[in-house]
Amino acid sequence: MNQIDFEEIGLTKNESRVYETLLKFGKLTSTEVSAKSGAPYGRIYDILGSLANKGLVVIIPDKIKKFIATSPDELIKIVEEKEKALRNIKEKTKELKQFYEQRESDVVEIAYGDKGFWKLADKTIESNDYSYSIKWDSKIKFGSLETTKKKIRKGIDIKHLVRFDKETKKNIKKWFKINPNIQQINNKGVAMSIVDDSEVMIGLIKSNTTLLIRDKPFAKIMKDLFLAKYKNAKDIKKQLFI
């Protein structure tokens, strides 16, 4: 049987050889362990002592001291502890990756034209807490109504402030059936979305320019301003169904 290398779980090569040798042969003296495992005799007591500290070897007191390996279950425990530690490291690495991605991303991105608007829209983060928006024409992108339904079912707070006229009425009705948290404001040419105190996307309609701003303090202020405006905005329901 080929010798197993347990270095991945913290055993040295000599410790791996000694432990496997004791599993195969049972009780052995230090001299026998060294001879059968190939571990240097000058270091054999250090190796056996380290394995004993890890719970993998038991010392049997006798006229001539002997050593025996504990059950491989003890080794499995070490493996499981290692797996748990690696899972924790993996989760921590994911968190660090988010910081890295945020650092690497520009705080402000600018795009132009309709294509530029949707390009930045596709780069926005997914909301987990809230999504507030100011809509200019209330366009319905493919799949957006179904996505909104799913978010509402998850308990995500979704609110819209919209420009209301003959041009937008049809689309607003469709949005309203999905989510009645819609109010009317006077809007001369702005579209905006605010997501989870993290980022704000602003569309400047007349200049055909879109900005994506990833700045938490700015997002929090914009959220507060949005909610204040929403609270005092005109109820759209009566007009919508005239």
**Does 123 share its domain with 236?**
yes
Residue 29 CB-half CA count within 13 A: 6
Confidence band (pLDDT; 50, 70, 90) for 67? very high
Inter-residue contact 51 to 16 (CB < 8 Å) = no
**Does 62 share its domain with 135?**
no
pLDDT at 210 over 50: yes
Question: What mean pLDDT is predicted for residues 205-226?
Answer: 94
Q: Which residue has the higher pLDDT, 62 or 227?
A: 227
Q: What pLDDT, on a 0 to 100 scale, did the predictor assign at position 3?
A: 53
pLDDT at 64 over 90: no
**Does 132 share its domain with 220?**
yes
**Does 168 share its domain with 225?**
yes
**Does 26 share its domain with 121?**
no
Distance CA 198, CA 161 (A): 19
**Does 141 share its domain with 230?**
yes
Q: Which residue has the higher pLDDT, 116 or 7?
A: 116
Q: What pLDDT, on a 0 to 100 scale, did the predictor assign at position 1?
A: 44
**Does 117 share its domain with 183?**
yes
**Does 139 share its domain with 209?**
yes
**Does 123 share its domain with 207?**
yes
For the stretch 210-233, what's the b/e string if a residue is b when 16 or more beta carbons lie within 10 angstroms of its beta carbon? bebbbeeebbeebbeebeeebeeb
Q: What pLDDT, on a 0 to 100 scale, did the predictor assign at position 5?
A: 62
**Does 140 share its domain with 219?**
yes
Q: Which residue has the higher pLDDT, 185 or 101?
A: 185
pLDDT at 2 over 80: no
Which H/E stretch holds residue 91? helix 72-104
* CATH code, domain with 231: 3.30.870.10
**Does 189 share its domain with 113?**
yes
Distance CA 135, CA 116 (A): 17
Structural domain ending residue among the three candidates 57, 74, 91: 74
Structural domain ending residue among the three candidates 74, 98, 121: 74
pLDDT > 90 fraction of the chain, expressed in percent and rounded? 54
> How much is the mean pLDDT over the chain?
88
Q: What pLDDT, on a 0 to 100 scale, did the predictor assign at position 39?
A: 92
Tokens representing residue 116 in the block: 């530029």
Q: What pLDDT, on a 0 to 100 scale, did the predictor assign at position 81?
A: 85
Strand-pair category, 209-213 with 157-162: unpaired
pLDDT at 165 over 70: yes
Structural domain contains residue 229: yes
Structural domain contains residue 93: no
**Does 45 share its domain with 155?**
no
Structural domain contains residue 133: yes
In the chain, how many domains are there? 2
* CATH code, domain with 67: 1.10.10.10
Structural domain contains residue 86: no
What tens digit of pLDDT does each residue of 172-198 get?
999 999 999 999 999 999 999 999 999
| Full domain range(s) for residue 65 | 7-74
